[in-house]
Homo-oligomer: A and B are copies of this chain.
Amino acid sequence: MDIRIDRESAVPIYLQISTGIRELILSGKLPEGFRLPPERRLAEALGVNRSTVLSAYRELKADALVDSHVGRGTSVLPRTRPAAAQGVVPPLPWRQFVREGALAMQDPLLRDLLALAERKDVTTFSVGLPAAELLHLDSLRAVLDGLAADVGPQMLLHSPTEGLTHFREALCHLMIARGIRYSPAEVLVTSGSQQGLDLAARVFLAPGDAVVVEEPSFFGALQVFRRAQARLLGVPTDRDGMRTDVLEALLARQRPKLIYTLPTFQNPSGAVMSLERRRRLLELAYRFQVPVLEDDPYYELRYEGEPIPPLAALDEHGYVIYLSSFSKVLFPGLRVGWLAAPRPAARQLALAKQSMDLHSTTAGQFLVDRLIRGGHYARHLERVRGEYARRRDLMHEALTEEAPPGVDWTRPQGGFYFWCRFPDPIRQSQLLARAAEQRVSYLPGDACFADEPGANYLRLNFTFPPAEEIRPGIARLMGALRAVARRPGSGIHVGEATLPIV
């Protein structure tokens, strides 16, 4: 059995394995009844985790190419006879109908992570969620009752694709407080910021188009750009955000369709792009004629220091599409976000949205509109800022006391995340498993990079876990880290090669 693994490829390794074996079966090289190697043996031979081989075999089972029985291992199934020969209707090979480039696989690591986050006994540092317990449900109910009385059934009917007009006006006022001036006609209400990203990708990106992204960047955005079959051009970041000197060199050689950036309290790094770099980024966008996609969900969550204007506030020539959301500051489950863009771009984005879901939830727009106009939103922000600053300090202290020597991080001035760097790369799958045993979850840095593996980074969220869980959770996580770092073979050997196996 000869299977080649390309560790640089965007295709997950388990999928490379299952594809390799599938081809061997379909070409007849592995005949009916052939026993595949036991998972552990194949894993060792390929230098991958057993769970990766397990996932690969699961894929093959789903395709009815192999079957496994306890004690007898996994063996190649007989080929089903052509249906026509016996008048039987064959099951539809659905996957063959998926268009090129659209066949997607969930990263098994992330799937496991999400499952872990749902467990009640786990301290969850892995998700980017606001603290649910800080919501004042009573005032929400009062607002809803008021809406039912004043607005009536209208709040359950269709609304314009662009969003309710008065809500867009309220959004323009929010943006003015950030120094950003767009008219309501340039605003589009979205079903969360994620939809804003997806809309931008759908309208602007053809397969093979290039997009500049920060290294690291928001995982959900990388996912959207990859699904659009775009080429990701990573630009490194430091404590002042995207390295504009590297960006300039890149723009001199490449012609990207978009520059994607999270300048304020970046996800995952927590970095804030300096004012000087922001100005420089815009100059480069103007010079090289590249639109900028600015993702700004954390703007209001500054716990200290002076705010720096968003790119959309500094832009004087209409080059910026601005995305923001209520998912991080109010609640994510309503799916209410927005984007603002120069008129011709806003128009195309609205027409794309129209055929995607007609419009975003009418009731949700009415609700957030009232929360803003009634001052609930401002009061809620005040409340969460105080509490989040406290949790950040708790996490900073816990890390200071518990982290092994060499672990490095920056105390963020706002946002949701600590971004921790280890001196040596570790096998994230081993650390995740050990952390899960210790009832604590985090986001492995790998997921946040376009090009380079981020095997020595962890992202830790401090807003969602209750304050009293932060200290013990960090202690358990750092214990797991020490245990994994000590184990032989846990490090990643740079330069690991593709292994031909037999």
Let me know if A348 and B94 touch, CB within 8 A: yes
Can you list 5 A-B contacts with CB-CB less than 8 angstroms, sorted by A residue number?
Answer: A97-B291, A99-B205, A102-B348, A104-B352, A194-B355
Once bound together, how far apart are the Cα atoms of A10 and B437, in whole Å? Answer: 59
Rounded to whole Å, the gap between the CB of A188 and the closest CB of chain B is: 14
Instruction: Give the contacts of A65-98 with B (CB-CB under 8 A).
Output: 89-92, 94-95, 97-98
Rounded to whole Å, the gap between the CB of A63 and the closest CB of chain B is: 9
Given contacts A94-B344, A156-B334, A334-B363, 20 further A-B contacts (CB under 8 A): A91-B317, A91-B318, A91-B342, A92-B291, A92-B317, A95-B344, A97-B204, A98-B204, A99-B203, A100-B206, A102-B352, A106-B351, A129-B157, A132-B153, A140-B148, A156-B332, A157-B333, A158-B333, A194-B355, A224-B355
Closest chain B residue to A135, Cβ basis: B153
Once bound together, how far apart are the Cα atoms of A106 and B135, in whole Å? Answer: 40
Once bound together, how far apart are the Cα atoms of A345 and B354, in whole Å? Answer: 24
Let me know if A227 and B352 touch, CB within 8 A: yes
Closest chain B residue to A289, Cβ basis: B92
Q: Among B141, B198, B345, which residue has its beta carbon within 8 angstroms of that of A94?
A: B345
A144 within 8 A of B: yes
Once bound together, how far apart are the Cα atoms of A92 and B344, in whole Å? Answer: 10
Residues of B within 8 A of A127 (CB): 158
Once bound together, how far apart are the Cα atoms of A357 and B158, in whole Å? Answer: 19
Q: Among B62, B342, B357, which residue has its beta carbon within 8 angstroms of that of A344?
A: B62
A223 within 8 A of B: yes
Number of residues on chain A facing chain B (CB within 8 A): 81
Q: Among B137, B316, B351, which residue has its beta carbon within 8 angstroms of that of A153?
A: B137
A192 within 8 A of B: yes
Which one of A104, A148, A318 has the highest number of Cβ atoms from chain B below 10 Å of its Cβ?
Answer: A104
Residues of B within 8 A of A318 (CB): 91-92
**What 1/0 mask marks residues of chain A from 340 to 381 whose CB sits below 8 Å from any chain B CB?**
001011001001101111111111100000000000000000
Q: Which 7 A-B pairs have the closest CB atoms?
A: A333-B362, A156-B331, A99-B206, A132-B153, A104-B351, A94-B344, A191-B357
A154 within 8 A of B: yes
Residues of B within 8 A of A140 (CB): 148, 156
